[in-house]
Amino acid sequence: MIAHFGYQDGSGAYFITIDTDKCNGCGDCLPACPAQLFEILVDDPNDPFRVTPVASVKETERKKIKYICDPCKGGSPQHPLLCVASCKAGAIGHS
């Protein structure tokens, strides 16, 4: 399942995607994000039958992605983004 976390408003679309089929819940993304945007959930709230832990974007941060991710993405973006690079499984993507 590809989970889109974030939002779209009049200024644009701001989404972080996590491919939960690729994610094994290892937690490498947690220290990689300077804003500590990610968390590991033991139970996936969107998939009650999943048994493996899964990475997610903290619910309290989902509506602020435009600003939180701006230091990494805005101006001269770092490529690849720290969170994207930290995931060995290639599960993380950005809009």
Partner 1 sequence: MTQEFWRWTESRWTAGDRDWKSAKTITAGVDVGSVSSQAVILIDGGLYAYSNMRTGSSSPESAINAMNWALEGTGLSLDQIQYTVGTGYGRVNVPFSNRAVTEIACHGLGAHFLYGPTVRTVLDMGGQDCKVIRTDGQGKVTNFLMNDKCAAGTGRGLEVFADLLGVSINEIGELSLKVEENPPAVSSTCVVFAKTEASGLLREGWSKEKVLAAYCAAMSHRVVTLLNRIGVEPDFAITGGIAKNIGIVSRIEKELQIQALTSKYDTQIAGALGAALLAKALWEKGK
CB atoms near residue 21 (< 10 Å): 10
Q: Residue 14 Cβ, how far from partner 1 at the closest point, in Å?
A: 9
Instruction: CB nearer to partner 1: give 20 or 86.
Output: 20
Q: Residue 15 Cβ, how far from partner 1 at the closest point, in Å?
A: 7
Instruction: CB nearer to partner 1: give 28 or 95.
Output: 95
Give the interface with partner 1 as residue ranges (CB under 8 A). 1-4, 7-10, 13, 15, 45-49, 63, 95
Q: And the tokens for 72?
A: 């990494």
Q: Residue 3 Cβ, how far from partner 1 at the closest point, in Å?
A: 6
Instruction: CB nearer to partner 1: give 48 or 75.
Output: 48
Burial bucket for residue 10 (CB in 10 Å: 0-12, 13-18, 19+): exposed
Instruction: CB nearer to partner 1: give 10 or 75.
Output: 10
Cα separation values, 7 from 14, 62, 72, Å? 5, 7, 18
The angle subtended at Cα 30 by Cα 14 and Cα 34, nearest 5°, is 65
